[in-house]
Copies of this chain bind each other. A is one copy, B any other.
Amino acid sequence: MTTRNRIYLIGFSGAGKSAVGRSTARLLGWRFEDADERIVERAGKPVERVFAEDGEPAFRELERATIAEFAREEHVVVSTGAGSVMHDQSLGGMLSSGLVVALEARPETVYRRLSHIAELDGAEAMTRPMLQSDDPLGRIESLKRERQWAYAHAHWTVHTDDLSIEQAALEVVRAWRRLGAPSAWEDDPDFAATVRLEQGAYPVFVGWDSLEDQLGRRLAQMGLSGRAFIVCDSNVVHPYGRAAQRSLHAAGIEMGLFTFPAGEASKNLATATVLYEWLAERRAERRDAIVAVGGGVVGDLAGYVAATFLRGIRVVQVPTSLTAMVDSSIGGKTGVDLPVAKNMVGAFHHPAMVLTDVSALRTLPERALREGWAEAVKHGLALEAGLVDLYEEHADALQSLDPELTTRAVAWNAAVKARMVSADEREMSGLRQLLNYGHTIGHGLEAAAGYDAYLHGEAVAIGMTGAARLGMLEGVTPPELVERQASLIARFGLPSAYMGVEPEAILEAMSRDKKTTAGQISWVLLDGVGSSRTHRGIAPERVASVVRELGA
């Protein structure tokens, strides 16, 4: 559907088209228009006189022309006459130029509402034909029955019987955000993915050498009316924090820059507190935005502060590490560590935009680059066979950061992540959990080793190796896939065994993970290339033996 900033409400008399339309327009800050009023304006006489003097075809032509007129206007909610939908050309015009929402109401509801309107002065003419029948409910039913087929053509339907006007309008706005909101960005050359959420959609752009060139311009396009507060760490402030500043400056956006010492040790409530106070001193408002420029630590911390400052301000993610580009910048997970465990404090807070400049990988330390490929390999193995082919064919070019291939790989990974997040925004359905392939043992290993010995991606690579063996023992993962995964992990220089950690400590940490429920661990296992499922109830002894064997 390629709709723009137009919503048409269709439905039977008494379904609430005018009241809900006005309320919807108010919620969106748009204009409200009544199609019949516009027709009267064009005709210079009341609808009844058009019918009587010029005939129905003349009225239908007027109606078609009026809809065509709305189709050229922007930011408008149009309430249509109850009969508009019976005319193919009018309905077609609406369906092709905006989001068409049918308001539905049961005949009893229609009858009750129309009786109520009839009691008001001056509304008699409108409701008389239906209510003055001997059997008004029967008359409503039969008229509505005729039109029901046309209402079914709508893009969305809202049943208004048990909703207030306000609630019905919120449902229309929600439908627009989910189905109709224009994604002009999908034509952009750097467009990689759209994340679709309850509250709206956001774009992921992936380009090469794009940060300084695009950041300011895209923030302006996003409708930023306030200031931008850049957050970065001491590793990326030169050159990327500065590049972001120059880009915002060129776009005329007022800004501030906050830098903290690089490293996971900074990702805590103390750093968050300093950032909160820095924002408060600058009197940051809800219309301002945080721009997180950096790797996972910056994204998580700045995202968490954005989630909680003033109960939530916008954040734009500008990932500069591979892990952040393919994974953590997309999906809204934000948080900080407690001394006892990572990411114990956090919130879901989706960015307003993700802007990835893949060329930033050129300055990433080699080990950090390598760990980033672990999450990319994971996306391929668990969810997207095509990615596995790409990695196998171009492992060397990708690791040496060939601009075209690396940009393609990052954009593809972003699309996989965006798809999973859109399907399961808050990890409710279990679908998003598939992204945790390799993470069960991985998290346990990180926690047991003290977060210093292994980078996250390294732990995930070891975790994938363990999960594949477990999958094989469970009869789920084919042995040849276990081999294929092992070669891929090796080709990207990632570890497949741990050293210097007690297996019992890993098992103990796994039992403490926040995803563990009542001691039950949910495992993501491969059943094919790019195909995975969750499994529960795997025997703890089997898990323990796999974890022990993973020790080098």
Using a CB–CB distance below 8 Å, which chain A residues touch chain B? 1, 26-27, 104, 106, 144-145, 148-149, 151-157, 159, 162, 164, 166-167, 169-170, 179, 198, 225-226, 269, 272-273, 276-277, 280-281, 283, 285-287, 307-312, 333, 335, 338-341, 344-348, 422-424, 428-431, 512, 514, 516-518
Closest residue of chain B to A151 (Cβ to Cβ) is B152
Q: Tell me whether A153 and B106 are in contact in the complex, defined as CB-CB below 8 angstroms, given that A27-B429, A269-B269, A333-B311 are known contacts.
A: yes
A78 CB to closest chain B CB (Å) equals 19
The answer to whether B170 and A512 have CB atoms under 8 Å apart is no
Number of copies: 2
* CB-defined contacts of A347 to chain B, threshold 8 Å: 307-308, 311-312, 347
Give Cα A140–Cα B427 distance, bound, in whole angstroms: 37
Sample of 11 A–B contacts (CB below 8 Å): A26-B429, A106-B153, A162-B179, A167-B422, A269-B269, A277-B339, A280-B341, A285-B514, A287-B518, A308-B308, A310-B346
B152:A346 contact, CB within 8 angstroms: no
A95 closest partner in B (C-beta)? B106
Across the interface, do B155 and A159 meet the contact criterion of CB distance under 8 Å?
A: yes
Question: Given contacts A144-B152, A170-B429, A311-B346, could you give 12 more A-B pairs where the C-beta distance is less than 8 Å?
Answer: A145-B149, A148-B148, A166-B429, A167-B422, A198-B198, A269-B272, A277-B339, A285-B517, A285-B518, A311-B333, A311-B335, A312-B347
Contact partners of A149 in chain B: CB under 8 A: 144-145, 148
Residues of B within 8 A of A340 (CB): 277, 280-281
Interface residue from B281, B346, B428 paired with A308 (Cβ < 8 Å): B346
Which of chain B's residues have a CB closer than 8 A to the CB of A335? 308, 311
Q: Are A345 and B276 in contact (CB under 8 A)?
A: yes
Q: How distant is A10 from chain B, measured CB to nearest CB, in Å?
A: 13
Residues from chain B with Cβ under 8 Å of A179 in the complex: 162
Other-chain contact of A152, B148, B198, B430, B517 (Cβ < 8 Å): B148
Is the CB–CB distance between B162 and A154 below 8 Å?
no
A311-B276 CB under 8 A given contacts A148-B149, A152-B104, A152-B151: no
Residues in B neighbouring A157, C-beta threshold 8 A:
104, 157, 159
A334 to chain B, nearest CB (A): 8
Question: A462–B106 Cα gap in the complex (Å)?
Answer: 48
Shortest CB-to-CB span from A236 to chain B, Å, is 25
